[in-house]
Each structure stands twice: as structure tokens, then as C-alpha cells.
Structure 1
Amino acid sequence: MLLRSSVEPLTARDIMQATGIRREQEVYDHIYHIALSSKRKDYVVILYPPRCESCGAEISLEKPKRPSRCPRCKSERISQPKFLIRGRDEV
């Protein structure tokens, strides 16, 4: 599993390049499904939330996605969320 073996957190674009998935939203959908399944498994999905590159605000997410604007300053300069999967005993 790509996210489990990765040393550093990966963005949706990193995952797209490694797996051949063509749509960014499809990556987010897969990660959401994996996160739901992880509640009954021995691993956990770690989300590094996106940040506004203008004001530095951390943007909280209910579902994995790339926000279009900062809720604080309305800037569109937003970093992508990053993901990792680790075993429950590693966290």
C-alpha cells in the first residue's frame, strides 16, 4: 500500500502520479473510503490539513478534499492536504 510504505506524507497529486489515477477527486474518494474502513482495522489514516499560503490558517476538513479558498482571508493560495497510513500501534 503506497500510503503505508511512504516515509513522507503524500498529496493527491503524488498519489495520482504513482498510481495512474487521472482525477484528483477520485483519490480523495478512495482515501475517504479507506479512512472509514480503518475504524475496524489495525491502521489509521493521518490527515495533514491544507494551509492558506497567504495568512497561514490551517483549514479543517470533514472529508478529504482540496479546498478552493481560505475561509479566513478568501485567498485561493491553498496547499494540498497530505496523507499517510500508519498502524494503530505506531501512532
Structure 2
Amino acid sequence: MTGATETTRRRLARRLRETAATPSELAREFDLTAATVLSHLEHVARSLDAGDEAVLVAPPTCRECGFDDFDDLLNVPSRCPSCKHEGIDEPTVTIE
């Protein structure tokens, strides 16, 4: 399939096979909201062949204290549960 006939989820998967990206980067690139990208990524993760590929997520990280043990890796938290700092680096997602 080419770009015009591919679904958004297939285009996202193809893009993530090339290089890692944050939800905000993907949202800008595909003209979507970050929340929509996260929803699509959950579906992409479920639809991949478990033996061949997987969605890998580098967790969000607090810029203040380094906390990275968030419950939901595919989420963009508003603040750190440890130090309450609002500077959180987004998760980075790739498919390998």
C-alpha cells in the first residue's frame, strides 16, 4: 500500500519501524492529537505479530529527579508522582 491508501495505524507502524519518536512528534507529523496517537499505538501494539515485532517504549522521565517508574508507559503524565515537578520528557516509541 502507498501513503494515500494506508490506514493511519499502518502509516504510524511503518514510521516507527524507521526511527523512534515521541507522541508529540508523531502528532505533528500525522496531523493528529497526542491522545489520538497514543490510542492508535495501543492498537498497533496489539496487532503486531508477537513473535516477529514489538512496540518498545522508553518510559517518560522526570527532568527534575529522574523518576521513570510510571504505571502506564504509553502516557504523557502531567507531573512526576515522586517530586511533583511538571517537567516530564515524553516516552519514546519504536517498533523492532
State the TM-score, normalized to the length of structure 2: 0.77
CA distance in 2, matches of 1:29, 1:52: 23
Percentage of pairs with the same residue: 31
Match of 2:15 in 1: 2
Q: How many residues align?
A: 83
Deviation, 1:61, is 3.5
SS of the equivalent of 1:62 reads coil
| Unpaired segments ≥5 residues, structure 1 | 87-91
| Unpaired segments ≥5 residues, structure 2 | 1-13
CA distance in 1, matches of 2:75, 2:34: 9
Match of 1:89 in 2: none
Stretches of 4+ aligned residues off by more than 4 angstroms: none
Question: Are 2:57 and 2:73, in contact at CA under 8 Å, matched by a contact in 1?
Answer: no
**Letter aligned with residue 15 of structure 1:** L
Deviation, 1:62, is 2.9
CA distance in 2, matches of 1:80, 1:60: 11
The question of 1:75 aligning with 2:88 is answered no
CA distance in 2, matches of 1:63, 1:57: 12
- RMSD across aligned positions (CA): 1.6
Question: Are 1:10 and 1:84, in contact at CA under 8 Å, matched by a contact in 2?
Answer: yes
CA distance in 1, matches of 2:24, 2:43: 18
SS of the equivalent of 1:47 reads strand
Question: Are 1:49 and 1:61, in contact at CA under 8 Å, matched by a contact in 2?
Answer: no
SS of the equivalent of 2:45 reads helix
- The alpha-carbon distance between structure 1 residues 56 and 63, as it changes in their structure 2 partners (threshold 3 A), is closer
